[in-house]
Structure 1
Amino acid sequence: MRRLFIMDQKDYDNNWKRYKRPSVRGIIIKNNKVAMVYSRKFDYYKFPGGGIENNEDHITTLKRELSEETGLSVSGTSVTEYGSVLRIQKSRFEENVIFEQENFYYLCDVLSDTYQQTLDEYEADEGFVLEYVSPEYAISVNRTHDHFDYDEYLIERESKVLESLVKDGLL
């Protein structure tokens, strides 16, 4: 998969232990709008998706995560690679640990527009809701609103991927 960009904060010591957390993210485009998960609590947009668990393959993770966060069912035959983003920084949760996350983005279609989310505790606490929005609107919210010290690098990553989709003529 092609690498879209690297976000390396260089705020760590290379001798620290590395914690790797690969993830997959779904890009669902409909009528020039993109399906995004909106956090009511922290006022930002992100692509639906999450971490790979128990050696799952990417497509299995993508289907599970999109079902949980959005309630949408991904058509497995529609999934195509878009690109990846590597994020490296000191851990926000552990001392002397490097957090390394490769985010794999996939274009995909869904089987229907009806949905029922199955959010975990932190997702429910953030008030995750599915919204189809223009890339310009999501980028504007992500870059100009107050996110109450939430993970600014995650928010900027999603904005940069949206810009890439626009540049590539997909939105």
Structure 2
Amino acid sequence: MNLISKMIHPDLTSTEGNVFKRQAARGIVLRDESILLLFTERYNDFSFPGGGVDPDEDIVAALARELNEETGARDVRVKHHYGYIEELRPYWKPEFDLMHMTSHFFVCDIAPELEAAKMEHYEIDNGMKPVWVKLHDALRHNREVMKRQDKSMGQSIQRETFMLDRVATEFLAVGA
């Protein structure tokens, strides 16, 4: 497995304390210069589809489940594990001081057509929608949100923008 990066969120004041650990599986799904992402209105950002791995759940099964729930993707075929990011960031539950998130990224193929997504209530409330978008457009959008430091900016935008840049550079052979 390939460690891509270790990140510490800029709002984190300490790396000490009670740590909540979370594993996540995220999909890199490309079609020409477009990528399947989630746009979240609340945070005004693009992110990779995927999410938490349940206890005792196989990580590839979790990826297929999350892609289906969030985007309606079916027939998920993992081509390879691209790598993972270790991330420390603030956590909202009072019994923890911070979160240690390990996000595994997988390059995938999916069936040509998306079914209806099966979002959770908080995803719907946040205005999350699956979209096919030009990779460079999504990257430019996230960079602009970070540059403005929008008050609505979510905690994951640094990780997501870092990965969008890496995917653009590596898979499209032209950085944005």
TM (norm. structure 2) is: 0.86
Contact 1:87 1:101 in 2 (8 A): yes
| Aligned-partner Cα distance in 2 for 1:154–1:44 | 9
For residue 158 of structure 1, the aligned residue among 148, 160, 165 is 160
Does 1:91 pair with 2:91?
A: yes
- How far is 1:54 from its partner? 2.5
Larger displacement relative to structure 2 (142-151 or 45-54): 142-151
Can you give the 5+ residue segments of structure 2 that lack an aligned partner in the other structure?
A: none
Aligned to 2:152: 149
- How far is 1:93 from its partner? 3.2
Aligned to 2:72: 71
Contact 1:12 1:96 in 2 (8 A): no
- How far is 1:98 from its partner? 2.1
TM (norm. structure 1) is: 0.89
Q: Which amino acid in the other structure matches residue 27 of structure 1? A: I
Contact 2:44 2:152 in 1 (8 A): no
Q: Alpha carbons of 1:72 and 1:97: their partners in 2 closer, same or farther (altered >3 Å)? A: same
Larger displacement relative to structure 2 (126-135 or 52-61): 126-135
| Aligned-partner Cα distance in 1 for 2:33–2:21 | 34
Taking only aligned residues, the RMSD between alpha carbons, in angstroms, comes to 1.9
Contact 1:74 1:108 in 2 (8 A): no
Aligned to 1:100: 100
Percent of aligned pairs with the same amino acid:
24
- Residue 171 of structure 2: SS of its match in structure 1? coil
How many matched pairs? 168
Q: Alpha carbons of 1:42 and 1:149: their partners in 2 closer, same or farther (altered >3 Å)? A: closer
Q: Alpha carbons of 1:53 and 1:139: their partners in 2 closer, same or farther (altered >3 Å)? A: same
| Aligned-partner Cα distance in 1 for 2:165–2:157 | 13
Q: Which amino acid in the other structure matches residue 13 of structure 2? A: D
Can you give the 5+ residue segments of structure 1 that lack an aligned partner in the other structure?
A: none
Aligned to 1:34: 35
Aligned to 1:50: 51
